Structures are given as C-alpha cells and as structure tokens.
Amino acid sequence: MAFEFHLPDIGEGVVEGEIVSWKVKVGDVVTLDQPIVEIMTDKATVEIPSPRAGTIAKINYGEGQVCPVGQVLLVIDDVGGTPWVAKPPGNGNGAHHAPAPAAKANVPAAIHVVDATPRAPGARVLAAPATRRLARQLGVELGGVAATGRHGRVTTDDVKRAATGAGAMVHVQAPHLARPQHAPIAIAHGGDEERIPFRGMRKRIAENMARSVSTAAHFTYVEEVDLTELVAVRERAKDRAKDRGVKLTYLPFIIKAVVAGLKKWPQLNASLDESTQEIVRKKYYNIGIAAQGPQGLAVTVVHGAEHRSIFDLAREIERLGEAVKAGTATRDEMTGSTFTITSLGKLGGVLATPIINFPEVGIIGVHKLEQKPAVRDGQIVIRWLMNLSISLDHRLVDGWDGAMFLQDVKTLLEDPTTMFMEMI
C-alpha cells in the first residue's frame, strides 16, 4: 500500500522547507524512524525520519527545491511494488530529483492552483518571513500578488511570478527599498574546476547577507581599546572559573559592556518594522554571537543577557558553541537576537566592516588582542590593545549615537570596575 508522506509543520511560522540533502533514493528500503531527508527552514536545519518502514516509491522534490508544509514530500510503498522514478531537472544528475512544473497541467495534484486575481484591498496577506523578505527585495507589494499556497498563502514562486508581471498586479515599492535585478550570471568553464551545488546553509547565508546590504544603509566606526586592566581581571578569575567548569574568555565581558551601552543608547537595540513604518525599541537584550560553524557562519543567541553573570554568560556561550559544532542547535537558540557581536577569535585581524544581522541595526566586530607599544603619560609602554568596529544602519542610527555607544563600551572595557558598577 502506498503511503503519502506530507511535509509536517516543523516549527511555529514555518510554511516551507528547502531540501538540503536526501539520505535515501527511489527504490531504497527504509525502516521506521530512519533519517530520510535534511530540510532547511527559515529557522533551522532539521533531519526528518521515516514515518514507517517500506520502500521509497516516489520523491517529489529534489535537492535545492522548496517543499511547502502539507505537500506530499515522498511516497513510501510499505508492501512492495514498482518504484516510481521522477525525471530529474537539468542534466539528469540523480534520478530522485523531481522536475519543476512547467504548466498547470503538470502540477502535482497536491499543489493548489488558484486564478491569478489580486485579493481585496486591505485583506490580510498570508506569507512566510522568507517570502516577505523576497518581496521586499524584488520591490513587489504582497497585497497585489495572487496566492497559490494552502489557505491562500503567498509563496516565493508567487512573488517571483509577480515580479515578472505574470498573472498578478505588481506594485513597485520606493526605489531605495527595491534591489535592482539582473539576469543570472553564467560562469563559463575555464579548465580544471569543481562545481558545488549552491544551496542549503551557504545559500541561506548569501541571501541574508545580500538582503542586509541591499536594505540597511551601512556605515562603520572603529575604536582602539586598551584591555590591559581587563586582561589582568580575567587572569585572576580564570582559576575560579575553572573550578566551576567554565572556560572564561573575553566575550562575556564584552557582552556585559555592550548591554550596558544598549541601555544608554536604545536606538541601537531596535529594528524598523517596514510594514507599519515603526521603529521598535526593544527593552530586552538577546545578544547574537556570530562565529564560524561546520556549515558556515552561524549566529547563536544568548537570551536575556542583561540578567546573566559573567560566569553564566561564559557557560552559555560555550554550550551554544558546542551545539553548533554538533549540529544540535535548536531554532530558539539561533533566532531572536536584538544585537550581534562577531569575532574570529585569535584570527580577529586588525579591522573589518561587519555586515548587519538584519533586521537588527548594529553589529560589533571584535578583532585581534595583542601587546603593542602605546604612549601613556608621555611614556612608551607595552599595553594589550584591540580594535572594535561597529557597523550600523544609518536609517535608524546617526553617526553621533553610534560613536558615543562605542565610546561607552570602550570606557567600560578599559575600566572593569566601572563595568561591574553598571551591572544589575
């Protein structure tokens, strides 16, 4: 008997998932709960197990394609039978890649097709966050897009069709909010090459970075910070931290200084709600930590940083880092940040211009800490110096505010006594 497996609801607000990799192919025999596919959503990457034992009879979506929640992802024949093999798109690499529909007649029965008629003015638009982001990038007004998704939901394909003028009214947003479009760039073969599919985490990182650069008006400010006193404080605290099973780095101290600065300069702990044209100042402090993970850049989130001690922050940072390395970080552990800190650790370099973790308005880059000669009271002395760079969204943050914020962070880091006085 053939069993149709519909993509389940795998998270609040998640309406579709990109197929990162299939663990099985048509004709494979699978057991109950055997991992069969890895899917990436707006929130996280998850591995989905087989809902029953049987033979994979049909796979409807190939790697790199997007499957809406509720659609038939694959068919399992639990009594045996002749497997169905989908024709792959392109050059035919992999028999399990399902072809993209070319016309309404070729659309699988599970996909709902509606007439290309815009909804009534003022009606609520149903769309995933990724779809809304794409609409803003393409300059498409969602209210004028005909929805083909379940329950009248606008899909990414609907937005792309609307952007080309196919089947729905298109309302172009103000030019400064719309990213110019261009034809896909083809790279000709030029010798010995390796071609890697552009999908999954790498593609999601690229989309997020491009969205940030094309929307936020970036500017960067840099300061040199003398951490000599903080180096001494950390050195004295390392043994106590070790006794508690904590690896104490400089990052917890930086987080504390950043939170204190954000409380004084609330415009930097904000976001712009483009749909309502409101600046949202957040009175909670969830600090994103951007670092390199096994699949690329990953941002984990220390929630409620304002309520945590230095040791507690160190413990949480280490826990989140291990979760990223193991691939077990949850959606909640990687979403909800209000301001981000990015660091390459010992490879921090002299200077960088970090890209804002949109829709936040600021990100601090932590650079290499090393001993250098410095002039103090007319004397050349050796000090522990480090650069901090901050990128800000000039739409919401003025240069003065950004510079004063970083000056306050610098003051707290250079004098740990004042930092501890700021703690609650």
Task: Name every residue whose Cβ is closer than 8 Å to that of residue 152 and which is 6 or more positions away in sequence.
Answer: 114, 119, 126
- Tell me the two tokens of residue 309: 């001690």
Given the residues 6, 112, 218, 394, the one annotated as active site: 394
Q: How many angstroms separate the CA atoms of 417 and 231, rounded? A: 13
Contact 42, 129 (CB under 8 A): yes
Give yes or no: 176 in active site.
no
What b/e string do you get for 226-255 counting C-beta neighbours within 10 Å, with b at 16 or more?
bbbbbbebbeebeeebeeeebebbbbbbbb
Structure-token match 């997007």, residue found: 66
H-helix or E-strand spanning residue 383:
strand 379-393
What is the CA angle 13-89-7, rounded to 5? 25
As beta bridge partners, residue 223 has 388
As beta bridge partners, residue 266 has none
Contact 362, 399 (CB under 8 A): no
CB atoms within 10 A of CB 28: 16
Structure-token match 């016309």, residue found: 103
Q: How many angstroms separate the CA atoms of 90 and 198, rounded? A: 15
304 — alpha (psi -120 to 50), left (phi > 0) or beta? left
CB atoms within 10 A of CB 266: 13
Contact 301, 334 (CB under 8 A): yes
Q: How many angstroms separate the CA atoms of 80 and 189, rounded? A: 44
Q: How many angstroms separate the CA atoms of 352 and 366, rounded? A: 9
Residue type at 366?
Answer: V
Q: How many angstroms separate the CA atoms of 87 and 106, rounded? A: 13
User: Would you give the DSSP letter of residue 259?
Assistant: H
- Tell me the two tokens of residue 391: 């990128």
Contact 260, 420 (CB under 8 A): no
- Tell me the two tokens of residue 292: 């390199």
Q: How many angstroms separate the CA atoms of 172 and 165, rounded? A: 11
Residues classed as catalytic: 394
